[in-house]
Structure 1
Amino acid sequence: MSPVATGIDPDAPAPRELYRDPVYDGATDPTVVESPDGWFLFYTQRRATHPDPGPGVAWVHGSRIGVARSDDGLRWTYAGTLEPETGGLMLRPGPPPAEVDETHWAPEVIHDGIRWRMYLTEIDGVPTQWPGHQRRIVEYASDDLRTWTRRGPLTLASDRVIDAAVARCPDGRWRVWYKDEAADSTTAVAVSDDLDTWHAEGTAIGGRPHEGPFAFELGGHWWLLTDEWRGMAVHRSSDAVSWQRQGGTDAVILGEGGDPAGGIQIGRHGSVVVTGDEARLYYFTHPWWDGSELADADERTHRRSAVHVARLHVVDGELTAQR
């Protein structure tokens, strides 16, 4: 059902939305961190409403990393974009440049006990189609979440890698989980003792194609979420190395979708902030698209996205999500 048929104004706030990008209305892949200077939201700033982004899927490329700020993690204000500077990136207020020559996707931001580190997907140019373009995960470091020094790309399983998630595991070692598009779009993993040198550990999550892994500890278990484009699969582990899917091969959380007026659409690629015995899952949706075929719908409208939040709890050994 199209937004026109339901009487929805796509320029108006979407039901239940937490944040919308004020420049191109394409906030996706959110990652949220709490710092002594407040909360920071980093996200892929897709060019959903750009008047002329280019042909094909150029609107998904040519993106910068958008940044928003908050005092409580719930009410957000746009702060600008991370723009290339000599040797790294810097937060600049306002919209990105009209012309860009590189694509930035899916930031992962962690604190290693000394400084902040960001693991960013970079793609040369502004591709107009999905295949045929190298994708790499590059590390940056920062002391203030505003100025980032480029440390260089990670050596991973292929040159088609995106969507990094990084955590320190029970064995004291760091692991990065990521989507390897050269391996049927499944989750690969690499391990490091020092965050400088990485060694491949093979496939962490296989099976149905997916993207956007995120790993965290909650309620005495480790959890890894993956985005299957129909909701998020949940995987549980005691050691963050061996994973078992919760609920079987078809089970997902945030898989509900429907009429856009209800404000409940499929939950996509997100990140988790743990506070005590509960957690916040920040994820994105397409508010005006229920996931059905776009042939008879307003595709430009359906490109728009919004960041939402859900509460996560562990109940009887299973992860539950409440929008």
Structure 2
Amino acid sequence: MLATLRPLAAMSAALLLTLAGVAGCAAERAVPPGAVAAKPLFRDPVYDGAADPTLVWNAARKRWWMFYTNRRATAQGLPGVSWVHGTRIGITESADGGAHWTYVGTADVELPPELGGNESTQWAPDVVRAGDGTYHMFLTVVPGVFTDWGHPRVIVHLTSTDLRTWRHPVKIPLANDKVIDPSLARLPDGTWRMWYNNERDGKTIYYADSPDLEHWTDRGLAVAQRGEGPKVFRWHDAWWMIVDVWHGLAVFRSDDALTWKKQAATLLEQPGHGLEDGVMGGHADVVVSGGRAWVFYFVHPGRRGPDAKRDGLEQRRSLIQVSELIEEGGIVRTDRDAPVHIRLDPPA
């Protein structure tokens, strides 16, 4: 009997070793592809006020570009909220699929005198590429530099062939003269839809439709949610919208990009524990690539603790972070403290 059991024991041991090896290989395969993203992901070297990111593939340079609002956080002697005005759109690029970013400069945006010209304020653009290779920017413009929030702001359409020089500005006819934060998506029939924040209607989310990115028809209310910075994207056979509601990002789901259902849980409401990530996240972009999705968001890392509500450099400065989104059972979540393995591939 003992002689019979010995071969069985040896076989069991060999089987256990084989299973352990398989498990080890599976664990290795479980690590997502891509380099680990820097934390923080990006800080603007000029004013240290990077916010409101939006990403687009630069086909000529074969790199991802990020456009962002560059608040003048380090500028001295600016009264009221003038430090959030007078801004130019910053540009940074990634050569490794989104893990690390290098400052490029600012976008050369041409605006007429009635929109502020060289004295304009430029906020929160969205950038898309049309089928002919032309890039289209939809830019929030305030016609000047002001110390308060009570002035008109409009959304302006510009075009470019190189992503750096933007010309042919045209104001989009939307709900009124106080609209911000455009987000665009192409619909299955080839037409375009833009969502934006209507500040005169309680900062709710409106939308407009276009057959060609140039001619627009305003459609009215999309989501009766008070917030700003809507971002709409297609992922996992559904449409998703995230909205900055000032206590994290609200998440909505839709089957047709018209009727939206809000999930109970917000994203990035609870502070993270990573470097410069210990506050709630705000106004974000989402990039879907290779079936995965990443949320690029901004934070004011100094707005924490007993001095959170002070108005100094530490509270004004802002920067960009990134986290991967997870969707399970129709609910989207993210773990902002997990290492972010990111690989943004060129779009198809």
2-structure distance, mates of 1:270, 1:85: 25
Shift of 1:281: 1.1
1-structure distance, mates of 2:278, 2:333: 16
> Which residue matches 1:102?
120
Measured against aligned partners, the alpha-carbon deviations of 1:129-183 in whole angstroms (never above 9, x if no partner) come to 011x110100111122112222401000010001000111234431110011011
Could you tell me which runs of 5 or more consecutive residues in structure 1 were left unpaired when the two chains were aligned: 1-14, 88-98
> Which residue matches 2:13?
none
Shift of 1:290: 3.1
Change (3 A) 1:84 1:223: closer
> Which residue matches 2:16?
none
> Which residue matches 2:188?
170
| In the alignment, structure 1 residue 122 sits paired with structure 2 residue 146 | no
C-alpha contact 1:116 1:143 (8 A) present in aligned 2: yes
2-structure distance, mates of 1:182, 1:108: 21
Shift of 1:84: 4.0
2-structure distance, mates of 1:253, 1:243: 17
Structure 2 length-normalised TM: 0.79
- Structure-to-structure mapping, 1:223-262, within 5 angstroms: 223-247=240-264, 251-257=265-271
Measured against aligned partners, the alpha-carbon deviations of 1:14-49 in whole angstroms (never above 9, x if no partner) come to x93100001110000011112332111100010011
- Other structure's SS at 1:175 match: strand
Within the candidate set 112, 124, 138, 2:156 is matched to 138
Within the candidate set 295, 308, 316, 1:303 is matched to 316
Q: How many residues align?
A: 292
- Other structure's SS at 1:240 match: coil
Larger Rg belongs to? 2
Letter in 1 for 2:296: Y
> Which residue matches 2:166?
148
**More helix by proportion, 1 or 2?**
2
> Which residue matches 1:69?
93
Query: Is 22-31 or 66-75 further displaced after alignment?
Result: 66-75
C-alpha contact 1:258 1:290 (8 A) present in aligned 2: no
Structure 1 length-normalised TM: 0.84
**More strand by proportion, 1 or 2?**
1
Letter in 1 for 2:281: G
Taking only aligned residues, the RMSD between alpha carbons, in angstroms, comes to 2.3
| In the alignment, structure 1 residue 18 sits paired with structure 2 residue 35 | no
2-structure distance, mates of 1:231, 1:166: 21
> Which residue matches 1:78?
103
- Other structure's SS at 1:182 match: helix
Shift of 1:200: 1.6
> Which residue matches 2:23?
none
Query: What stretches of structure 1 move > 6 A for 4+ residues in a row?
Result: 258-262
> Which residue matches 1:206?
224
Change (3 A) 1:184 1:293: farther
